[in-house]
Structure 1
Amino acid sequence: MNAARGGGSVENGIANFAPLAATVFLALVMLLPVGTGVANVMMPHFVLIATFYWLLRRPVLMPYGACAAIGFLLDLWLDVPLGLNMLMLLSTRLFILSQIKYLRGQTRLVQWLVFALFTLILYTLSWFAVALAKRDWLPVEPLFTQWLVTTLSYAPVALVIGRLRRVMV
């Protein structure tokens, strides 16, 4: 009866945790040791992809606190300067919220291109931040490779997350 009047149901309440649960799951996937000593494979930044995707679709379900907490845990797990991933995810939220009216009606290709450009800027700024923290210029090739792998992974990861979103709603 409550659901018929427009009230929330238990299923809808559980579905509201899907973005956070999917993002945490992808964070755990990011931490898997991939590759061998012979062929080391670089892992895409799945959390950045998931955050960008969910903020475009359901920004209310990925609040600032969730972005900050997941980013902080990533900083601890990945052994990068504390606050780096947290700032990246919070910057993603601020960017999406400021541009959502322009991005929502766009095709997936345009959204992917915006993701590629935005993440290039984020990775470049993070490279400068790490270089300042370590007081040494770091090689650019790993940064570019990480950006390329993340950018190319956006479409398939967004497709899987989109399927999850359709199942949960």
Structure 2
Amino acid sequence: MKPGVWHRLDVIARGLLPAFSVFVLLLINLLPVSLPLLSTASPSLALMAVFYWSVNRPDLLTALTAFFLGLLQDLLMGLPLGVSSLVLLLVQTGSASQGRFFHNKSFIVMWWGFALVAIPALLVQWLLSSALIGALLPIKATLISYVLTALLFPLVAWVLARTQNSLLRYM
């Protein structure tokens, strides 16, 4: 029997969930935060989500999707065009290839893996942004951003895991 239209739409919507979650986190990153230390730094929520989905469901968050989400991030955040695309593409490609390593390991291993991936990712973003702007950007904001990103990863990963378990269980 041929699946109905609603069933096919459901499968498509579930397949788009990882990309949609990255998009939502991009929008959350745009919200103004008025904390003294965070005026120029914020956690990289999109980086967290791209890493999470690339490790757990690389079939649903492809390199092309990560690239376009990075372009969207650059446009929305006013970053030099292509910087986030390259960073998210590199994270997606590298993390997807290491998915087997993280399989059946404790969450702490995944957290450490993310913390190790986030360091070069944010440094590449800082270096490329500085090069394209033509001035060395303050490294302090990148360091604060890294600390926030690494510390908030468990919370974001927990939300994404709950989403994955409830909505992508049958895919």
Q: Distance in 1 between matches of 2:140 and 2:38?
A: 15
CA RMSD, Structure 1 to Structure 2 (Å): 2.0
Tell me the residue number matched to 1:105.
104
Aligned position for 2:161: 162
Contact 2:50 2:88 in 1 (8 A): yes
> What residue ranges of structure 1 are gaps of 5+ in the alignment?
4-8
Any stretches of 5+ residues in structure 2 without a counterpart? none
Describe the superposition over 1:10-56 as per-residue Cα deviations: whole angstroms up to 9, x where unpaired: 333321121111111111111112216x6745431111111111111
1:141 corresponds in structure 2 to 140
In 1, Cα distance between the equivalents of 2:126 and 2:154? 24
1:54 partner amino acid? W
- TM-superposition CA deviations, 1:76-97 (whole Å, max 9, x none): 1111111111011100111012
Per-residue CA deviations over 1:49-69 (Å, capped at 9, x if unaligned) read: 111111111111101221111
Which residue is equivalent to 1:126?
125
Which residue in 2 is equivalent to 1:90? 89
Aligned residues: 164
1:120-164 Cα offsets, whole Å, 9 max, x none, are 111112222122223322221111000111111100011011111
TM value normalised by structure 2: 0.86
Structure 1 stretches of at least 4 aligned residues deviating more than 6 Å after TM superposition? none
